[in-house]
Amino acid sequence: MIEQFLTSYFVKNGEHLEVPPKYISDTIKQYTVAKQTARTYRNVSFLKVGQLTKTKPSQELINYKFTKNAKRKLTEDFSTIQSWIKEGWIIEEIVFAQDGRTAKAIHYRIGPSLKYYFDAQNEQQTQRLENYVLQLQKSADIQPIKELLQAVQQLNEFVAMPIEKLAHTTKLTPHWSIEKRLRFLHFSIGFFQLANEGVLFDFKEIGATLFDKIGGSKAFDRDQKEFIEELERVFSVQTIDCGLISLGKITPVFFTGELMGHLAIIDKVLFMH
């Protein structure tokens, strides 16, 4: 597996990975990437790699945000770097100049263990998103009134999209992550459920309708303005015409003139009598 990984990530066209490797220690091997033509043969790079580890990497390692082609300089001490190489988290790449002998650059790149960890994380995330979509599909079972028929049909089309297609559709705000797109669709389901009842409702009722738990009414507070604007744009509706009469914010009321009475605090709300 390690040699296949090295070939996929480090060996370019016209190059090859020399096997067997040279053992630097009991757990660290050094592979040579070489390039051979009809007239020349030279070393392209040395790759120092350890063994595959199926555990969780340290947060310090994750913070370097390794990707397939990322080349990093590390600030850790020598023993830490060697342990990361030993466990297959990173690979030390020594790149040679055209003479095949002089080291031109030394840096660190993603190792097989870190690639395995990221793949596992991505699989878990994909499964979570797919489960979320199934939940949305069940919640989106709305029998719309005539005025909302087109909007609800469009909502169902979004919910029925495969994750990959939903992540790239240009019908939704382009810079949103797939997680935010799904959260927006969840918000839209709650909105149209209330709008379909033909009643006046408050913004916080949308979250409360979908999440039967303490704090559910605040589920969409941080995205309030964006989600309302996106809903009106995508589904060509006016939220106020659909029954949304309040954004759930405390609105100060100012008085002029003389007032007499006393103050009372009831459930953290200030009243004047």
Inter-residue contact 73 to 66 (CB < 8 Å): no
Q: Please indicate, yes or no, whether residues 162 and 229 belong to a single structural domain of this protein.
A: yes
Judge whether residue 55 has pLDDT over 60: yes
The residue type of 99 is D
**What's the confidence (pLDDT) of residue 144?**
93
Q: Which residue has the higher pLDDT, 213 or 203?
A: 203
Judge whether residue 151 has pLDDT over 60: yes
Q: Please indicate, yes or no, whether residues 206 and 240 belong to a single structural domain of this protein.
A: yes
Out of 13-27, 119-133, 237-251, pick the least confident: 237-251
pLDDT band (50, 70, 90) for residue 12: very high
127 occurs within a structural domain: no
121 occurs within a structural domain: no
**What's the confidence (pLDDT) of residue 271?**
44
Close Cβ partners of 97 (under 8 Å, ≥ 6 residues apart): 103, 104
**What's the confidence (pLDDT) of residue 267?**
43
Q: How far is CA 18 from CA 97, 101, 131, 212, in A?
A: 18, 16, 45, 61
pTM: 0.74
Judge whether residue 269 has pLDDT over 90: no
Close Cβ partners of 15 (under 8 Å, ≥ 6 residues apart): 33, 34, 35, 44
Summarize pLDDT for 163-207 with one digit per residue, the tens.
999 999 999 999 999 999 999 999 999 999 999 999 899 999 999
End-to-end CA distance of the chain: 77
74 occurs within a structural domain: yes
- Mean pLDDT of all residues in 80-99: 97
* Cβ-based burial of 98 (10 A; exposed 0-12, middle 13-18, buried ≥19): exposed
Q: Please indicate, yes or no, whether residues 147 and 91 belong to a single structural domain of this protein.
A: no
Q: Please indicate, yes or no, whether residues 96 and 158 belong to a single structural domain of this protein.
A: no
273 occurs within a structural domain: no
**What's the confidence (pLDDT) of residue 255?**
53
Close Cβ partners of 49 (under 8 Å, ≥ 6 residues apart): 2, 6, 28, 29, 31, 85, 88, 91, 111, 112
Judge whether residue 248 has pLDDT over 70: no
Inter-residue contact 238 to 232 (CB < 8 Å): yes
Q: Please indicate, yes or no, whether residues 164 and 103 belong to a single structural domain of this protein.
A: no
Overall domain count for the chain: 2
Give the separation between CA 223 and CA 187, rounded to whole angstroms.
10
Judge whether residue 256 has pLDDT over 80: no
Residues of the domain holding 235? 140-246
123 occurs within a structural domain: no
262 occurs within a structural domain: no
Q: What is the DSSP string of 179-209?
A: HHHHHHHHHHHHHHHHHTTT--EEHHHHHHH
**What's the confidence (pLDDT) of residue 155?**
97
Judge whether residue 72 has pLDDT over 50: yes
**What's the confidence (pLDDT) of residue 214?**
83
- Mean pLDDT of all residues in 35-51: 93
**What's the confidence (pLDDT) of residue 129?**
95
Q: Please indicate, yes or no, whether residues 18 and 111 belong to a single structural domain of this protein.
A: yes
